[in-house]
Amino acid sequence: MQNMLSAQQAEQREFWRQLCPGMSIEGDAFAAPAAVGDPADLVPILNREGYIQVADALPEARIAPIRHAVSTLFQCGIPLPFAFVYDEMWLAFQSLSRFLSTALGEDYRALPDFWVWHVKPNEDSAGWGPHRDRVQPTIYDDNSPQTLTVWLPFTDATPLNGCMYVLPAHRDPRFIERRWDGEGNNVVYNPQDIRALPATAGSLLAWNQAVLHWGGRGSRLGAAPRISAAFEFQRGDCAPFNQPLLDPYRMPTFAERLGLIGKQALQYRHMYPLTDDVAAVATSLYQRFMPGVSLSI
Query: What total number of domains does the chain contain?
Result: 1
Would 297 be classed as within a structural domain? no
What number of CA atoms fall less than 13 Å from residue 68's CA on the CB side? Answer: 12
State the sign of the Cα–Cα–Cα–Cα dihedral 52, 56, 57, 63: positive
The answer as to whether 181 is a domain residue is yes
CATH code, 212: 2.60.120.620
Residue 295 lies in a domain: no
Scored b (16 or more CB within 10 A) or e, 146-168 reads bbbbbbbbbbbbbbbbbbbbbbb
User: 145 by DSSP, 3-state: which?
Assistant: strand
pLDDT score of 291: 53
Are the C-beta atoms of 173 and 28 separated by less than 8 Å?
no
Report yes or no: 196 and 162 within 8 Å, Cβ to Cβ: no
Query: Which residue range(s) make up the domain with 246?
Result: 7-289
- Calculate Rg over the CA atoms of the chain: 18
What are phi and psi for residue 56, nearest 5 degrees?
A: 60, 35
Q: Within 13 Å, how many C-alpha atoms sit on residue 192's CB side? A: 0
| Region label for 162, one of left (φ > 0), alpha (ψ between -120 and 50) or beta (otherwise) | left
Establish if 296 belongs to a structural domain: no
Q: Report if residue 1 sits inside a domain.
A: no
Identify whether 294 is part of a domain: no
Residue 57: per-residue pLDDT = 98
Provide the residue-wise pLDDT of the chain in tens; the chain has 297 residues: 345 688 889 999 999 999 999 999 999 999 999 999 999 999 999 999 999 999 999 999 999 999 999 999 999 999 999 999 999 999 999 999 999 999 999 999 999 999 999 999 999 999 999 999 999 999 999 999 999 999 999 999 999 999 999 999 999 999 999 999 999 999 999 999 999 999 999 999 999 999 999 999 999 999 999 999 999 999 999 999 999 999 999 999 999 999 999 999 998 887 777 778 888 999 999 999 985 443 333
Give the relative orientation of helices 254-267 and 276-289 as an angle to the nearest 10 degrees: 130
Cβ–Cβ < 8 Å for 135, 75: no
Q: Domain for residue 202, yes or no?
A: yes
Residue 293: its pLDDT value, please?
43
Judge whether 167 lies within some domain. yes
